Structure 1
Amino acid sequence: MTQIYKNRRTSSITKQWSRNILACAVGALAAGNAFADGRISGQLTAEISGMPLQGSRVKIEELNQTAVTARDGRFVMSGVKPGSYTLSVSYLGVETMTREITVTDNQTTVANFKISPERPEQEYVIVLGQAGSLNKALNRQRSADNVVSAVSADAIGQLPDTNVSEALQRLPGLSIERDQGEGRYVRVRGLGPDYNAVTINGVSLPSPDSGRRAVALDVIPSDLLEGLVVTKTLTPDMDANALGGSIDIQSLSAFDRDGNFYSFTAEGSYNELTDNTSPKLALTASDQFSIGSGTDNLGIAAGVSWYDRQFGSDNVETGGAWDFDDGAALLEEIEQRDYTIERERSGMTFNVDYKLSENTDLYWRNLYSKYTDSEQRLSNIVEFEDAVGAGDVTNAEVARELKDRSETQEILSSSLGGSTRVDSWTFDYRVALSESGEDEPQHLGGAAFASIDDIEGVSFSDTTTPYLNTPASFSDANNFELDEVELAQSSTNDTDTSWQFDVTKDFFIGASSAMVKFGGKYSDRDKDSDVEIWVYEDLDEYGFSDEALSMNSYAASNPDYTLGNFGPGINSAAVADAVSGLDQAEFYSEEDSRIEDFDVSEQVSAAYLMGRIDLGDLRLLAGVRYEDTDFSAQGTRYDGDNFEDNNADNQYDHLLPSLHARYALGDNTQLRASWTNTLVRPTFDQLAPFFVIDDEEAEFGNPELEPLESSNIDVGIEHYMGLAGVVSAFAYYKDIDNFIYQTDLAGTPMYADYDEAITYANGDSAEIYGVELAFSKQFTSLPAPFNGLLLSANATFSDSDATLAYYDEDAGGVVSRDSAMPSQSDTTGNLSIGYDASRFSMRLAANYKSEYLLEVQDVSDAVQDVYVDEQTQLDFSARYYLTEGMQLYFEAANLTDEPYYAYVNEASYNAQYETYGLTYKLGLTITNF
């Protein structure tokens, strides 16, 4: 029962509606009442520091007209009738301030407010401390028309969160997926990373990963940010491409501070698993300048960040290769992996804000990030002669492999825009360019040394972290010879250009304050992937002697592997030198190279109309968004003999209504409810028009896939309890159509002669429902020194149901089974205990997520589903102000040395186990406000 109204291909009614939407909106406003256009503007700042305060509610008491202070602490209220009024300003943790003002027709009344703490040390808590950081976020949450969660820049620095994703995991309803122990992808309300949108300063961010839409947020350093905002219920003026939520990364602005500001950080971190120490440096600065006739009307902010982290991990995995037939649990294969990793993360931001006049603000915002991941992976792949149980002794084929590669991901976002106010109208405009890419120069994609004869007397113990028991021959390099060398290189580019124009009109309907907003957006996205692979095999035919093939010629020292006997390593340079003299063209793999290449183009045209009205204590916001998508792609078809270009195109449009309500039960308590409709387009690897036929087996993408469509209901209550204090509860429900999953079409009429036909298909439906709870409180009423205690906790409980269909030969047709949504944890939560004093603060934080479905290995057999086990990570941080502007800090990440563990069927049976060790950080920050 989805509430998304969708027409395939061409729809003259919908297209005519979209062409007329702006004209109708303008006509309705022109026919409306013509009230006087007096205006009130001002700014809210902290008195001692001068820091602007965002998210404060500003209200004309007699008219019930409200505004919210922006990032620079400023607010504007238009369309106010001439007269005398009481203006109030409400900021959590501070007593409401009021002032009598007089509004004159066609003139602007200026009313600035400063927060004045009762004691000077309160300024630290309100603006800088943990409680102040949380308070900023809660003010934004309280004042929003929809459901949002936020993190401020100083809150990001309160815990050892290296990148954007790790900072987001602290928010209600959010959890992260890690890579090598570092946060990478973000999940919102149980929905996987590909179901969420990411923007920088409101501009859509393309993904540097070749086949995905999900943005790997470990690419972006947290030092360059001013804040993070997660929107969980979208309004019509936002892109509709988010089922879980939309994450906006906000970079620095000079008007986020008062006058000259700089911050310099130097840090060293130590990883106990690899015994490596890694350096980090970051510098951000901003200032305001007076040009022309203006005062402090030009703001320039810039920042650079660099972090070179050396670490590693130890891994043992089965890949889910268990045989559960006849009630037994027999293992077919074990793989040991040892990783040595260096990740260099650098970035810079440069932002210009210019107040051209009292009524026009312009900006140019830029963020660039570069992430280089150099990884060497040694592995031992042990294939048992027969599937065995724990303790059984058998023979095994063993292969020792090496992969050595360096990949660089880059992200660039640049936007130029502004805002102009004319009477009670506001015009917002923006053009933007976003680029991301991934480049892997030619590297050793794999070097495999196979055992000359089966290794006898191999067994394993422990089905959770399988420990190999091996004879001496397992570790003898002379028992292995070079079987294959693969060289590879790849590149991906993703470019999104867009323009956007929005018009807002503030007015009154009777005694009720109202607003109408309409606009349009056009985006043009191009993504391509290019892969080149060379496979060197049968090297004895190219003059390699027995000695040149023996692993003994390439052996390196044993790696520091903690999960069992590993044996010798492999010298990467020696392998590369061995094949360097061969003619590379002879070993080019056209099939592997061309099949992974694709070029996709996607254009989205959007228009929307929305309105808002205040009816006493009730605020209603309603509207509709229309999006039209044109898609085209180029790929390759390979039938085992010939290559052909394979092109595809698709077009679809959506009409997406929404309704948001916020009702004030009192000054500190409010109810929220919303009904929204959203969509997510398929990933690029799902859409890519490749087609590979290998005898009776086929694998292919599906460019005809429908987008996922979701109708969402959210209801909740929030109660605010002064400084950093809130208790809230939300319930949500998502009804999803066209759920996408991988399936096997072998046996169906079109693929009746195939043993396997792997592709992607749309499912009938899926559902997610849950409850999101949050609490935070600084206990200022306790006697000193306990009045600095801060407790923060949140938990999300959710469930999902999805339907997977497949062809069953025995049943003679298509059957289905139930499944959870991928990446959806039933329970996620955070608990943080903090302490704030004027010069010292510390924080202990725990993050938990329950098990979730990682992969459906066999759509017809739920026993083979792979799950990631529950995880709890504990982090600690402590900070001390040596002087007013110099701060020393210590952080410890992953205190419990929590591993990554995935299993198949049930938690006893390993799919993957990986451990990372603890990381300690010591740093110094010098700041000038």
Structure 2
Amino acid sequence: MKLNLVLLGSASVMALAGLSGAASAQHAVSGLVTDANGAPLPGAQVRVRELGLTTSTNRQGQFTFLSVPSGETRIEVNYLGLPTAELALDVQPVERNFITFTLAADAADRIVITGSILDGQARALNQQRTNRATTNIVSADAIGRFPDENIAEALQRVPGFGIERDQGEGRYVNLRGAPAEFTQISVDGVSIAAVDPGTRAVDLDTIPSDVVNAIEVSKTLLPNQDADSIAGAVNLVTRSPFDRRGFRLNAQGGISYNEYGGTNDRRASFVVSNTFGENETMGALFSASYSQTDRRVDNFESIWDLVTRPEGDEIFAVVETEIKDYDTRRERMAFTGALEFRPDDQTTFFLRGTASRFEDDELRNLLYIEYEAGSLQPGATNTTATWANARLEKELRRRIVRNDVFTLAAGGEHDFGTVELDYSLSFNRSEQTYPQRNQLNYRSTIRPTISYDYTNRDLPFVSLFETGEHLNLAAFGFRENTFRGTDTVMDEWSGRVNLSGDGALFGTRARHQAGLSFRLRDGSSDEFRFRDRRGSTAALTPALADIISNRPSQNFDYNLGFKIDDQLAQAYWRSVANISTEDAVLRVPQSVEADYSVEENIYGAYAMTELDYGATTVIAGLRVEHTDFSSTAFRLNTTTETATPVSNSRDYTNWFPNLTVRHEFSDNLIGRAALTRAIARPNYPDVVARISVGDTPPLTVNRGNPELRPTLSNNFDAGLEYYLRPLGLLAVNVFYKDLENYEFTLRTPGEFEGEQATFIQAENAPDGFIRGLELTWQQTFDFLPGMLGNIGVFGNYTWTDSEMNIGRTIGGRSVFPLPGHSDYAYNLAVFYETDRFNARLSYNNRGDYLNALDAEDGRKDLYWEGREQLDFTASFDVTDRLGVFFEAKNLTDTPGVRYFGDRSRVYEYEKFGYTMFFGLRFNY
């Protein structure tokens, strides 16, 4: 059933009308809330009870009331984990009244320990409690207490999140069971474009976790936020020099031991900041982070398909197997910088920038068994088979992929007493390049008969490893060289301006806000592929036996022989690279069909009003976004091998009404409900006018769909949050997302230029939904006696259900699951903390989820198996400035598993072992 938007439309009219309310001629009151050490306390609730005024402190612990009458008034500050404070202020008819609160308690009663697990938890819970919409906050302290190297892995601890991994490491996030493209990612409010040309989902393994000050997750949007966040929006907040005034230096570093390969990881980072001037009006900050991981991965992959037995019936059989021996090195570098000028309490100017680089250097020795190149023998079953004349190949691939994300933002904030103005101009560049992507392939003249038995579905028996034909190096001859890469660049200029002020509407106090924004994106993707199979190149190619090293190549218990010597292969590639890549004949003509360029300009405007009815806050508003889109792709004439540009363009306007209600049943019991609307624009390769034809049979045609429409979602969210004293939370949230025009990829048979082909094209499903439930529990057990009072728990559970209805029946189905959807995900952590020591044991589990859809046959849908992981962290402060820490990751040694339709048909089985990390922290 579609959600009724009539109420939302009415709310929008109310918001627009509210802008005419006049602000009362009263006086501004500002203040600062800090702890006993002078650290600002964000999210503190600030009240003037007799006037019904409530606000909260920002990240620097500051708050402002624009309209307070003259005379004495009492201001109350409430912060979870510290005692409530109340002070009297004589409000004068001056431009600005200022007051400072310092929240402290006796050591015996102290709950929040600065820089600890509890400190981070307190900061997060206080901000979450006072936010108007449904949010989750993750503080830097909390991130640092988990062994999470990148932002994706940090988010897996947040209610509602599951992560998609690559070689055991988090890359994409699925929020509330939605595809990764449904979550917008930004840095300090600057939207980030994806580096991967095939998706709008942002690779979060590019950004290390130790460069952020906090992660803000908005699960319900307000009109002043960009609308392209159906699942939610993630904002990475970098540090500010005014987070703590004066000189600050924080540094950490360490080294690990990795179970697989006995290798080591290295990691180091630092943050330095200072505030200057007589009144500390200028601030500067710089941070840097570097990590390097050297890990070995064991990987076994099998392609399953329906084949006809000699007996005449169909069974599932393995038609290809790839056994991969990886040596990997991953490097992350990140830098952040900030300059801020605050000439007075009412004015801020800022310049902020971030740069992140992720480089994945992968050396892969591969043994390839092509069963279907031979013939299936009688007696095969769904788990056992014998193939005669199978084909064997050995290959070395060296692939380096580099992701770069750069953001720069400048702007200002002004408080004019009756109104507030903020504005910004920003730039983002997201880029993916392949400095090297070379493959050297040898094919054996031996065509053995091979039997397999998949009774052990993860590590099957393969007779080749008993007969050993793959170890006969003399039988392998040069097959081909390939040189390929893809360069993708996305640039976006964006700007926004917001104006807000106090007024009145319907006889009650109101805060009105309106704004304008633009996002101008220009991107291109250029793919190039060269394949060299010439006899002249073969004559230059050394025999396989001449470039084999003495290093054993072992994958699980499978003996692959010896690794190809990387240095000899590199020297060979350098010797033939120019011969191959300068010869245009060797460029695979179809690679030009993957190239495209796009321009996407999004213009937005909104108005909203916040009404306070005592304990109830109602926010009503309307946002409108207009999208101009154009693209250019290329169509190849296979006869003349000339490429012709093909362009398309379109524009559309979408309206996003919004109604958000927050009610305080008490100081500690908060209820929220929201009716919102959001959008997910199509992935670029899916909507550009392109036709990309595979260069090897069977023929595959990837086709863009210029008629593809954006996905729209009408959302309902509701929840209750009970904040436990002194520090904790019990929460329940429900959500329902009613999807229109959900984008999915369809494979259909057909004919292309006289040949049978499989067409792959994105289409819109008319209907779909995502619904779910989130439960959260955080608590400290300070009420228990003795050492038991130092224990705390953190847990959350998310259940989701989803489907899309494509409006017709294909392969016997008209209703399909959504990619990225898991039925459940949950976290459970237990921590122990004293003044100098803390430890945390954390467990994460996610259910199976769909990775790729086969619309023709559900038995071929590709799934990731659900994955569990147990981690442990501990730290000890040797002095007030120096600490040591320890991290143990993946103690369960959980594999990564993908399978086709049923767990018995394993496509990929991968293991990477546990990691033990030791390090030092220094604070000044």
| Aligned-pair CA distance for 1:531 | 1.8
Structure 2 residue aligned with 1:852, among 849, 853, 859? 849
1:409-444 superposed Cα distances (whole Å, 9 cap, x missing partner): 111111001111112200010000111111112431
Check whether the contact 1:751–1:757 (CA below 8 A) recurs between aligned residues.
no
Q: Which residue of 2 aligns with 1:456?
A: 449
| Aligned-pair CA distance for 1:97 | 1.4
Q: Which residue of 2 aligns with 1:9?
A: none
| Aligned-pair CA distance for 1:569 | 2.3
Moved more, 183-192 or 238-247: 183-192
Q: Which residue of 1 aligns with 2:119?
A: 132
Aligned residue runs from structure 1 range 192-271, under 5 A: 192-271=179-258
| 2:344 paired with 1:357 | yes
Q: Which residue of 2 aligns with 1:871?
A: 867
| Aligned-pair CA distance for 1:465 | 2.9
Q: Which residue of 1 aligns with 2:33?
A: 44
Q: Which residue of 1 aligns with 2:919?
A: 923
Check whether the contact 2:322–2:368 (CA below 8 A) recurs between aligned residues.
yes
Distance 1:755 1:926, change over 3 A: closer
SS of 2:878's partner is: strand
| Aligned-pair CA distance for 1:76 | 0.7
Check whether the contact 2:437–2:485 (CA below 8 A) recurs between aligned residues.
yes
Q: Which residue of 2 aligns with 1:705?
A: 708
Distance 1:647 1:102, change over 3 A: same
> Separation in 1 of the partners of 2:48 and 2:83?
17
| Aligned-pair CA distance for 1:26 | 9.2
Moved more, 151-160 or 564-573: 564-573
| Aligned-pair CA distance for 1:209 | 1.5
Aligned residues between the structures: 898
> Separation in 1 of the partners of 2:524 and 2:598?
6
| Aligned-pair CA distance for 1:774 | 0.1
Check whether the contact 1:697–1:754 (CA below 8 A) recurs between aligned residues.
no
Aligned residue runs from structure 1 range 803-822, under 5 A: 803-804=805-806, 816-822=813-819
| Aligned-pair CA distance for 1:468 | 2.5
| 2:178 paired with 1:191 | yes
| 2:877 paired with 1:884 | no
Q: Which residue of 1 aligns with 2:823?
A: 826
Distance 1:647 1:785, change over 3 A: same
Check whether the contact 1:335–1:380 (CA below 8 A) recurs between aligned residues.
yes
1:703-741 superposed Cα distances (whole Å, 9 cap, x missing partner): 321111000100110000023300000010001111111
> Separation in 1 of the partners of 2:588 and 2:307?
35
Structure 2 residue aligned with 1:403, among 368, 391, 397? 397
Aligned residue runs from structure 1 range 383-422, under 5 A: 383-384=370-371, 385-387=374-376, 388-389=380-381, 390-395=383-388, 396-422=390-416
| Aligned-pair CA distance for 1:70 | 0.5
Distance 1:576 1:310, change over 3 A: closer
| Aligned-pair CA distance for 1:118 | 1.6
SS of 2:552's partner is: coil
SS of 2:356's partner is: strand
Q: Which residue of 1 aligns with 2:664?
A: 664
| Aligned-pair CA distance for 1:36 | 1.8
Structure 2 residue aligned with 1:897, among 893, 897, 913? 893
Aligned residue runs from structure 1 range 643-792, under 5 A: 643-692=643-692, 698-746=701-749, 755-792=757-794
| Aligned-pair CA distance for 1:458 | 3.9
Check whether the contact 2:861–2:900 (CA below 8 A) recurs between aligned residues.
yes
> Separation in 2 of the partners of 1:679 and 1:751?
37
> Separation in 2 of the partners of 1:723 and 1:379?
57
Q: Which residue of 2 aligns with 1:608?
A: 606
Distance 1:25 1:867, change over 3 A: closer
> Separation in 2 of the partners of 1:675 and 1:99?
38
Aligned residue runs from structure 1 range 368-767, under 5 A: 368-384=355-371, 385-387=374-376, 388-389=380-381, 390-395=383-388, 396-444=390-438, 446-461=439-454, 462-470=456-464, 471-509=467-505, 512-537=508-533, 539-540=534-535, 542=537, 544=539, 548=541, 550-556=543-549, 557-578=551-572, 580-581=575-576, 582=579, 584-586=581-583, 587-641=585-639, 642-692=642-692, 698-746=701-749, 755-767=757-769
Check whether the contact 1:771–1:798 (CA below 8 A) recurs between aligned residues.
yes
Distance 1:305 1:747, change over 3 A: closer
> Separation in 2 of the partners of 1:551 and 1:121?
72
1:741-764 superposed Cα distances (whole Å, 9 cap, x missing partner): 11135459x999864322111111
The letter for the 2-side match of 1:558 is P
SS of 1:259's partner is: coil
> Separation in 2 of the partners of 1:398 and 1:687?
39
Distance 1:846 1:363, change over 3 A: same
> Separation in 1 of the partners of 2:693 and 2:85?
72
Q: Which residue of 1 aligns with 2:804?
A: 802
> Separation in 1 of the partners of 2:17 and 2:803?
46
Check whether the contact 1:886–1:927 (CA below 8 A) recurs between aligned residues.
yes
SS of 1:567's partner is: strand
> Separation in 2 of the partners of 1:487 and 1:433?
33
The letter for the 2-side match of 1:217 is L
Check whether the contact 1:57–1:67 (CA below 8 A) recurs between aligned residues.
yes
What TM-score results when the alignment is normalised by the length of structure 1?
0.93
SS of 1:276's partner is: coil
Q: Which residue of 2 aligns with 1:87?
A: 75
Gaps of 5+ in 1: 7-13
| Aligned-pair CA distance for 1:507 | 2.5
Q: Which residue of 2 aligns with 1:10?
A: none
Identity %: 28
| Aligned-pair CA distance for 1:406 | 1.4
Gaps of 5+ in 2: none
> Separation in 2 of the partners of 1:491 and 1:39?
53
Distance 1:159 1:543, change over 3 A: closer
| Aligned-pair CA distance for 1:896 | 0.5
The letter for the 2-side match of 1:456 is T
What TM-score results when the alignment is normalised by the length of structure 2?
0.93
Q: Which residue of 2 aligns with 1:72?
A: 60
Distance 1:692 1:883, change over 3 A: closer
Distance 1:247 1:563, change over 3 A: farther
Moved more, 563-572 or 199-208: 563-572
Q: Which residue of 2 aligns with 1:35?
A: 24
Distance 1:628 1:400, change over 3 A: same
Distance 1:151 1:324, change over 3 A: farther
The letter for the 2-side match of 1:798 is T
SS of 1:863's partner is: helix
> Separation in 2 of the partners of 1:5 and 1:655?
11
CA RMSD of aligned residues (A): 2.5
Check whether the contact 2:604–2:626 (CA below 8 A) recurs between aligned residues.
yes
| Aligned-pair CA distance for 1:361 | 1.0
The letter for the 1-side match of 2:843 is A
Structure 2 residue aligned with 1:346, among 315, 333, 338? 333
1:819-864 superposed Cα distances (whole Å, 9 cap, x missing partner): 11101111000000000111110000001100001111x3111111
| Aligned-pair CA distance for 1:563 | 4.2
> Separation in 2 of the partners of 1:224 and 1:698?
42
